[in-house]
Amino acid sequence: MRVFGTSLLGAGLGVGLALLTAPSYAADCAAGDARHFTVAANKDTVHWGYFSKDATPLIEVNSGDFVTMEALTHHAGDDYDRMIKGDDGAESVFHWTRNEKGVERRGAGPMDASVYGRGAGEGFGVHIMTGPVKVCGAQPGDVLEVRILDVNLRPSGNQEFAGKTFGSNVAANWGFQYNDLIESPDKREVVTIFELDSSGANVWAKPLYNFRWTPQTDPYGVEHETIDYPGVVVDHDTVDEQPVLEGVQVRARPHFGTMGVAPREADMVDTVPPAYFGGNIDDWRIGKGATMYYPVAVDGALFSVGDPHAAQGDSELSGTAIETSLTGVFQLILHKKADLKGTRLSGLYYPLLETDDAWVVHGFSYPNYLAELDKPQQTIYQKSSIDLAMRDAFRKMRHFLMTAQGLSEDEAVSLMSVGTDFGITQVVDGNWGVHGTVKKEVFMHR
């Protein structure tokens, strides 16, 4: 089949550094032309709120294969009529009555809701993840290259809103602003609904209305005074919808907030804090035309995607982006550990982003919180800081410049100060993030 895109990995290599060789294949992986798979999002193809090295793969692909994957937002219940109704896949995932749920487990917590009583999985992890996809021959120490060839908005399934896509932004209790509000009430959560043109012809997201969260009772009878469990459908008879941000428009930048491979440290890992395996990085640059590189931690890599966004600013300050549903087209390419020496991916231990004009490293307060902290999936939420994330981003950019461009440490430090931009990726994901960006033009004469 036709190759939709090519990696820029070989561009701008430093003196003496080799291009990556053609992807290696394990002996039992079928050779031949690249294939194209499609994975729809429904209750049978998603895992809600967790990554797992024990998850059963939906499909197995060879290096170079293409996969179209649908991704649903876990915030679709903020406006059921616009974001779920009439969409068979979304309806199956969000189905919840007094007797059953389409997807019972929502998070990496206990199934009996014994800690907080919120629901199965306890909400320790919130994102609806499509996958996993097993990559034939992938082993720990390898690197998985994920090319994002296309990203499309998911149209509303409700014919009343044909041609439209909707998204939700939440000023939430986990947002940076929550304990620093100046208007009354000083503890409040606010949901803002946005509208987009599903075709993508109009690149702007238009604010429609907002409402303050009121206590919502789920079909099992549990009252949620705050937004504390994913997939609770808002009863709009209990909220006051108000026009908002009149005359304002936000440029759409569709991207995937949570994407990556399965970590090795635990059987089930909360999707919220990001780490070396990728996960909930929440960088708006991870969209169409970008390429992500992930260090493989378990056999088969087990790639999953979710948390789709229509737009987000650096920091994701209030708690969420414009959470919407998207469909992505990906090409998965495996780079074997034995082939990495002397290439840009040599020794890669962190998620690396490549765009048309830049490379981006992602630093976190704890680069591998699962191994660094005691009771990591609980304590990470109290321990993050921008200082720690900046230190990690510095170290990763230093590694990248010394490895990929052959700079000395002194050269790397100088270039980081004068030609590299560091920014706050997010301050809401438990493990806070700082990204470092270096433009490719810096090395155009090397």
pLDDT tens column, 95-108:
999 999 999 999 99
Is position 17 within any domain? no
Is position 386 within any domain? no
Using the 8-state DSSP alphabet, how is residue 24 labeled?
Answer: P
**Kind and range of the H or E run holding 337:** none
Contact 323, 71 (CB under 8 A): no
Contact 173, 212 (CB under 8 A): no
Count of residues in the chain:
446
Distance (Å, rounded) from C-alpha 152 to C-alpha 326?
Answer: 6
Distance (Å, rounded) from C-alpha 393 to C-alpha 298?
Answer: 24
Domain containing residue 324? 36-153+251-346
Spell out, as residue ranges, where the chain has pLDDT lower than 50. 1-27
* β 250-251/278-279 pair status: unpaired
Cα-Cα end-to-end distance for the chain: 35
| Number of folded domains that form the chain | 1
Alpha carbons within 13 angstroms on the beta-carbon side of residue 41 total 29
Contact 322, 205 (CB under 8 A): yes
Q: Does a cis peptide bond (omega within 30 degrees of 0) precede residue 295?
A: no
Three-state SS for 317? coil
Count Cβ neighbours within 10 Å for each residue of 414-438 and write b for 16 or more, e otherwise: ebbeeebebebbbbbbbbbbbbbbb
The pLDDT, as a whole number, for residue 32 is 85
pLDDT tens column, 156-210:
999 999 999 999 999 999 999 999 999 999 999 999 999 999 999 999 999 999 9
Three-state SS for 434? strand
- Is this prediction's pTM over 0.85? yes
Is position 321 within any domain? yes
The pLDDT, as a whole number, for residue 28 is 63
The pLDDT, as a whole number, for residue 4 is 29
The pLDDT, as a whole number, for residue 29 is 81
Under 8 Å CB-to-CB from 262, ≥6 apart: which residues?
51, 52, 53, 55, 132, 269, 277, 297, 298, 301, 302, 304
**Kind and range of the H or E run holding 400:** helix 386-404
Using the 8-state DSSP alphabet, how is residue 16 labeled?
Answer: T
**Which structure tokens are listed for 160?**
């009343």
CATH (domain of 285): 2.60.120.580
Is position 212 within any domain? no
Is position 180 within any domain? no
Three-state SS for 130? strand
Is position 264 within any domain? yes
Is position 197 within any domain? no
The pLDDT, as a whole number, for residue 11 is 33
Is position 68 within any domain? yes
CA 155, chain centre distance (Å): 20
